[in-house]
Amino acid sequence: MNQKIKLNALALMISGIISGSALAQTAVEVSEQQMQENNQQEHTEDMAPMKVWGTKVKATSVNISDEDITMRQADHLSDLLRSIPGVDVGGAHSLNQRINIRGLDDKDLAITIDGAVQNTYMYHHMGNLQIHADILKAVAVEVGTNSVVNGGLGGAVRFETKEAKDLLDYGQQFGGRIQGSFANNDSIGGSLSLFGQLNDQWDVLAYYNHVDRDNYVVGGGRIVGSDGVVINEDGEVKGLAGTTKDGLLKFGLDISAHQRLEFGLENYHDEGQYSYRPDMGLATDLAIADNLGLPLTYPTEFTRDTYTLNHELFWGENSSLRTAVYHNNSHLRRDESGIAVVFPDSPSLIEGTARNEGFSVLGRTELSHLQSHQLTYGVEFVDYTTTYQREGQEVSGEDANNFALYIEDRIGFDNGFYFTPGIRYDRYDVDSVVVNNTFDEVTLALALDYAVTERLNLGWSSTQLFKGPELSEVFVGAGIRDTENPNIKAETGVNHQLSFTYQAGHGFDFGATLFRTEIDDYIYEYADDNVGDLSIDGFEAFISHRTGQLTTLLTYASQDSELDAFTSYPEFEGSRLDRSIGDNIDLTFDYLLPNLNLHLFWNTRFVDKLGAELDLDELNNPKKAHTVHNFSMRWVPQQQFQGLELTLGVDNLFDKLYASHASRTGDSFHPRFGALHLTDYEPGRNVKFTLAYKF
C-alpha cells in the first residue's frame, strides 16, 4: 500500500516546525452543571451583561469559541465543523449534511444529540443527521476513535442543544431572543426563543426556528461538466426549494445542588419540492428525468422527533454520573405519483421510518492513592427498528440492538507520566435480510501521555475498533432488495495515533497528529459483504497565535486510504474511499475592536486536488482543488441598543465554483441514462445578514 502522506509547500513548512501530533485525549465532556456553578461563583460587577448566543465546538485537536461560530451565521453543519483538521461536511442540500472524519462518513461515526443516538441509515442519497446549527449549544468532536468510551470506526460527534441556564444573564429570571436572517443565495429565516427560571428549581426553554430556502446559484453563475461543457447557463441548482423548521422544548429541574434533571422534546421538519437524489448534482437529475420523461422534483418530507431525559448527579467529592434515556424517530416520505404516471406499477407514495431507543450511563471518579486515578466507566444500550411502507402499507422491516460496557483508568504519576488502559465489551444482535446473528467483541485501548515540561506534551494511543453489520438503508425497502449473506463478519481493526502539543509562549500554540486506522473485513454497503482490509493514513496539524485582540488559527490535514481487496472482489483492489478528503489547509483571522464593539472574522480554506484514482464506487475521477474565502463582521452595541446584535458576512467571497471532496464528485456512466456528471456544487457568493435582539 502507498502510505506516503502528500504534503504541499505550506504543509512542508508546518511539518518542519512540528513533527509529532496533537494530543488526542478522550473527549469526555466536563459537566455543564459544574461549569454553571463555577460561572456563578466568578460573577463580578464588571462582568459583561450579555451572554453570547452561539455554539462551542470542542475537538480533540482544536477548539472553536461560540463567538467564532456566531460570526459564521451557521446555517449548515459545515459552518461549524470544517475548521477542525480531519473533518469535513459533504452535501449542500438541506437533506444531505454528511459529516466526514478522515474519509469515513456518518454511518461509521458515533453521533448523538443530547445523548440520543442518531445513527440511522435512511437513504444513500442523503445524510444521516438532520439538525439546524442555530439550536446547538455545544459540539464535541473526537477525531478518530481514541478511547473505549466511544464506539464507531472513525470517531464521535456529540451535539448538545441549548438550555435556559445557558441563556439567562446573571440575575435574570425571564428572557427571550428574536432573530431574523437573510441570505441572497437564497434563503430567509427567523427564530424565537423564550426562556426563564420558573422558581428556584425549575427552568424552561422554548425555541423555534423557521427557514425558507429557494434554489441557490453556484459560483461563477454556470454549471459545467468535467469536460468544460456548460450544463446550465443560469447556474441555478433546481430541487433545493423548501422549508426547514426546528423546535425545542426543554425543562430543567435542579433537584439539589448536586443533582439535575432535564427533559427535552425536539421536532425537526424539512419539506419541499426536492430532487430525487439530494446528494447528486443537477446534471444527473436532468439526465435521468429527461431520459425517462420524469419530473425533476418531488414533494418530499422528512421529520425527526427526539425525546430525551437526562440526569446528572455529583456524588462524593470527586465522582459524577450522567444518564440519558431517549427515543429518536425519523420519518422520510416522498410523493412519487409523477413516476406512477409513466410507470403504472410504481407506487405513488413511499415512506421509511427509523427508530432508535435506548439509554446510556457515563460515570467519572477521581481517586488518589500511590498514584492518581481518573476512572471513566459506563454502559450503553440502543435498539434500532426500521420499516418501509408503500401506499401506507408496511412492506418490510429490520431490527438490531447493541449493548456495551466499558471502563478506563487514567493513571497519573508524579513525574508527569500518564498511563490509560481501557476495556470495552459490545454485544450486537441483528435481524436483517442480509444476516440474522449475534456479534460480540472485547476491545482494548491503551494511551500514554507524558508532560515533558509545562509546555510540551507527548502522547500515543492505540484503540481497537468494532462495528457489527448495520441494517439496510430504509428508504429503498429496508432490506427487501438485499441478498442473504449469513457469513458476513463484523468490522474490526485498530486506530493508532502519535501526538504532541507545545505552548511556545508569546501566544503561540502548535501541535500535530500522525495516525493510521486499520479496518479489517471492511463492509461495502452496495456489496452487502466484507470486501477487504482498509487502511487510512494521515497527518493533522495546527498553529494558533494570540496577540492583543487578534487570534490566528492555521490548520492542516492530509488523509489517504487504500483497500487491500479480498480475492472475491478484485475490482476493488487498491480503491480509496469515495469520500476521501485528501489535503486541506484552513486559515482563520479573528480580530476584536472593543472600542467600537466590532468583531471581524476572515476564513480561507484551501483544498488540494486529488488525482484520478479508483474509488469504492468503481469510479476513477479526480477531485479539483479549490480555495474559498469567507468574511464577516459583527456589531454588538453595549449601551444605547443593549441586547441588539448585527452580523454581516459574505461566504464564498470570490464566487468560486467548487464542491467539497466529502460530497459526490466526478463522472459516471449508466447503461440506460448515459454519461452522468455527479458533482454536487456548493453555493456561489452568498451575502448573509442577521439581526437579533435579546431581551
Higher pLDDT, 410 or 79: 410
Distance CA 473, CA 454 (A): 50
Count CB-CB contacts under 10 A for residue 415: 7
- Contact yes or no for 119/108 (Cβ under 8 A): no
pLDDT of residue 1: 43
Confirm whether 349 is domain-assigned.
no
Q: pLDDT tens across 531-568, in order? A: 999 999 999 999 999 999 999 999 999 999 999 999 99
DSSP β-bridge partners for residue 22: none
The C-alpha cell at 110 is 458515533
Confirm whether 273 is domain-assigned.
no
| Residue 617 scores a pLDDT above 90 | no
Q: Is the peptide bond before 186 cis (omega within 30 degrees of 0)?
A: yes
pLDDT of residue 60: 73
Question: Which of 5-9, 63-67, 175-179, 508-512 comes out lowest in average pLDDT?
Answer: 5-9
Question: Which of 112-126, 224-238, 427-441, 458-472 comes out lowest in average pLDDT?
Answer: 224-238
pLDDT of residue 19: 32
Q: pLDDT tens across 671-686, in order? A: 777 788 899 999 999 9
Confirm whether 212 is domain-assigned.
yes
Backbone angles phi, psi at 69, to 5 degrees: -65, -40
Q: What is the mean pLDDT of residues 20-29?
A: 34
Q: pLDDT tens across 122-151, in order? A: 999 998 888 888 889 989 999 999 999 988
Local structure of 114: helix, strand or coil: coil
pLDDT of residue 471: 95
pLDDT of residue 104: 95
Q: pLDDT tens across 367-388, in order? A: 987 789 999 999 999 999 999 9
Structure confidence at residue 581 as a pLDDT band (50, 70, 90): very high
Q: What is the mean pLDDT of residues 335-352?
A: 94
Confirm whether 183 is domain-assigned.
yes
pLDDT of residue 644: 94
Q: Full-prediction pTM beyond 0.75?
A: yes
Number of compact structural domains in the chain = 1
Question: Which of 31-45, 416-430, 534-548 comes out lowest in average pLDDT?
Answer: 31-45
Distance (Å) of CA 229 to CA 223, 358, 468: 9, 51, 44
Higher pLDDT, 27 or 389: 389
Confirm whether 356 is domain-assigned.
no
pLDDT of residue 81: 87
CATH at 197: 2.40.170.20
Which residue has cell 434563503?
A: 187
Confirm whether 260 is domain-assigned.
yes
Distance (Å) of CA 620 to CA 283, 341, 349, 612, 617: 19, 36, 36, 5, 9
Distance CA 111, CA 58 (A): 15
| Residue 119 scores a pLDDT above 50 | yes
Q: What is the mean pLDDT of residues 380-408?
A: 97
Confirm whether 364 is domain-assigned.
no
Structure confidence at residue 287 as a pLDDT band (50, 70, 90): confident
- Contact yes or no for 285/295 (Cβ under 8 A): no
pLDDT of residue 537: 97
pLDDT of residue 460: 97
| Residue 18 scores a pLDDT above 50 | no
pLDDT of residue 82: 86
Structure confidence at residue 51 as a pLDDT band (50, 70, 90): low
Question: Which of 47-56, 198-207, 490-499 comes out lowest in average pLDDT?
Answer: 47-56
Q: What is the mean pLDDT of residues 325-336?
A: 97
Q: What is the mean pLDDT of residues 95-100?
A: 92
Q: Residue 497's domain spans which residues? A: 9-268+283-324+420-694
Average pLDDT, the chain: 89
Q: What is the mean pLDDT of residues 474-487?
A: 93
Q: What is the mean pLDDT of residues 80-104?
A: 91
Distance CA 684, CA 653 (A): 8
Q: Which of 56, 38, 101 is nearest to 513 (CA)?
A: 101
Structure confidence at residue 36 as a pLDDT band (50, 70, 90): very low
Confirm whether 355 is domain-assigned.
no
Instruction: Name the most confidently modeled range: 151-160, 221-230, 244-253, 590-599.
Output: 244-253
